[in-house]
Amino acid sequence: MTKDLTSRMLAELKSGEVFRTAHQHNLSYLEGVMDARVFPGEEALEALTIFDEELPQGHCDPVELLNLLQAKGAPATVSTLGGRYFGLVTGSALPASLGARLMADAWDQVSTLYAMSPITAKLEEVAESWLKQIFNLPPSTVAGFVSGSSMAIQSSLAAARYRVLQNLGWDINAKGWREAPPVRVITGRHTHSTVVKGLSMLGFGTDNIEYVDVDDQGRIITAQVPELDESCILLLQAGNVNSGAFDDFEVLCDRANKVNAWVHIDGAFGLWAAASERLAHLTQGIEKATSWSVDGHKTLNTPYDSGFVLCADREALVNALQASGAYIVYSDKRDGMLYTPEMSRRARGTEVWAALKYLGREGLDDLIWGMHERAVQAAEALNAEGFEVLNDVVFNQVLVATDDDALTERMIGHIQQSGECWVGGSRWFDRHVIRLSVCSWATTPADIARSVKAFVDARTAVS
């Protein structure tokens, strides 16, 4: 680095103007985001061509750079922080958690080892213990703080593969897959695509998945789960991505535990039902599984990206994600990289700790129950307007249909372009549906009423 550029950056760091500018822009963005259009309008999208430039030859003024981001970048954001984004399963961010994130970003910590960031290791340790209490998991459970459920599922499957093969007398790390004894993978037909992706990435082979039929809510039909044995990995679901339905954990975990099979629960958004007194019945029996994948950035409303792999078999998880290298100095404190596929990671445990500390048990219950109440409100109001709701609204998901699939499709486009709210489409058995997922602390009854009106207006406009 030339002396010239270093001294320039030193001056920028010390004067603080770059950070004050970023801070001011953030304040004005956050002030307006609740009332902003949900999906950006045409003009904002067209203005993005300003970023199509040649790689610059020299440096530029960092404040001007931030001003460009604010002027042309911010208007092309999707207002997922607000209360009217109902696409996929997309969380907002709690102010306390977002604030903690901004601080952790300024600290620029790496959560690889205790030696690289004691505070990050401490906050991960505390968050791990709180998560175990919330989900009532066995004392042996450890948590890895990963980017989201995709990586949490991948890590869990790696741990499951390690343990199941170890039980069959095979060391997968040393000997690999090629001549390994067969491992069976059993899951419901409505398993999430990231589970299938994880199985494919780890070499299980998607053709080898033993799919079990599901009932009209997308729950695995317990009686159709085949005879299990110790070569089996059973993948269950807390929160079907369309209907929000939960599998029967109690019965299936008991069956699996009798024969020493591994049970993983994909609870990306739904596992959080455990934290709400009136919804906890949905998650009955989850503590009997071996591993769990959950998101922070969905129901808990931490900023992106944040998810956790939780595993009651520490040895299997650590061995499956093993790393070696003489320069790695493990400590008797928490070394985060033991529980994640990544070596270097940002300090995302900070936002998780902040969200849980801010909410406490009562706030968490309030947050999750509130999402359920808004979903029920949406379902009832849409029903009253003559739409069909196809699922039992047990959690935060609502599947809406009209009697004409083509009309339903056209409505989705119209609603998205209106900027009033954002919903996506899906297929539910043989029907086209509009998926509405309530996953934001900011969604008020008025937001639901306004969004229902957007549905009604869209139907009128495209009929």
Segment interacting with ligand PLP (CB under 6 A) among 96-104, 208-216, 266-274, 373-381: 266-274
Rank residues 83 and 148 by Cβ distance to ligand PLP and give the closer one: 148
Q: How many CA atoms lie within 13 A of 427 on its CB side?
A: 3
Rank residues 114 and 395 by Cβ distance to ligand PLP and give the closer one: 395
CB of 453 to ligand PLP, least distance (A): 27
Rank residues 121 and 438 by Cβ distance to ligand PLP and give the closer one: 438
Residue 89 binding ligand PLP, by CB under 6 A: yes
CB of 336 to ligand PLP, least distance (A): 18
Residue 320 binding ligand PLP, by CB under 6 A: no
Q: Residue 43: which region, alpha, beta or left (left: phi > 0; alpha: psi -120 to 50)?
A: alpha
Residue 313 binding ligand PLP, by CB under 6 A: no
Neighbour-count burial for 273-307, b at 16+ CB within 10 Å, e otherwise? bbbbeebeebbebbbbbbbbbbbbbbbbbbbbbbb
Rank residues 411 and 434 by Cβ distance to ligand PLP and give the closer one: 434
Question: Which residue in 97, 109, 149, 291 binds ligand PLP (CB under 6 A)?
Answer: 149
Q: Are strands 232-237 and 184-188 parallel, antiparallel or unpaired?
A: parallel
Residue 33 near residue 79, CB atoms below 8 Å:
yes
The single-letter code of the amino acid at 63 is V
H helix and E strand count, the chain: 14, 11
Size of the site for ligand PLP (CB under 6 A): 13
Rounded to whole angstroms, the Cα distance separating 6 from 8 reads: 5
Question: Which residue in 66, 172, 252, 268 binds ligand PLP (CB under 6 A)?
Answer: 268
CB of 239 to ligand PLP, least distance (A): 6
Q: How many CA atoms lie within 13 A of 385 on its CB side?
A: 22
Segment interacting with ligand PLP (CB under 6 A) among 10-18, 147-155, 246-254, 383-391: 147-155
Question: Which residue in 109, 120, 194, 440 binds ligand PLP (CB under 6 A)?
Answer: 194
Segment interacting with ligand PLP (CB under 6 A) among 58-66, 142-150, 172-180, 441-449: 142-150
Site string for ligand PLP, 236-255 (x = CB under 6 A): ---x-x--------------
Residue 352 binding ligand PLP, by CB under 6 A: no
Beta bridge partners of 433: 426
Q: Which of residues 204-223 bind ligand PLP (CB under 6 A)?
A: none
Question: Using the 8-state DSSP alphabet, how is residue 30 labeled?
Answer: H
Question: Which residue in 124, 247, 287, 295 binds ligand PLP (CB under 6 A)?
Answer: 295
Residue 148 binding ligand PLP, by CB under 6 A: yes
Structure tokens at 336: 């985060």
Beta bridge partners of 222: none
Which has the closest alpha carbon to 353: 308, 291, 310, 391?
Answer: 308
Residue 85 binding ligand PLP, by CB under 6 A: no
Rank residues 268 and 415 by Cβ distance to ligand PLP and give the closer one: 268
CB of 150 to ligand PLP, least distance (A): 3
All residues at 6 or more sequence positions from 240 whose CB lies less than 8 Å from its CB, including other chains: 190, 217, 218, 219, 246, 270, 397
Rank residues 197 and 453 by Cβ distance to ligand PLP and give the closer one: 197
Which has the closest alpha carbon to 159: 325, 356, 309?
Answer: 309
CB of 89 to ligand PLP, least distance (A): 5
Structure tokens at 289: 């599984």
Beta bridge partners of 308: 145, 294
Question: Using the 8-state DSSP alphabet, how is residue 37 labeled?
Answer: -
CB of 435 to ligand PLP, least distance (A): 11
Chain residues binding ligand PLP by CB under 6 A are: 89, 148-150, 192, 194, 239, 241, 266, 268-269, 295, 307
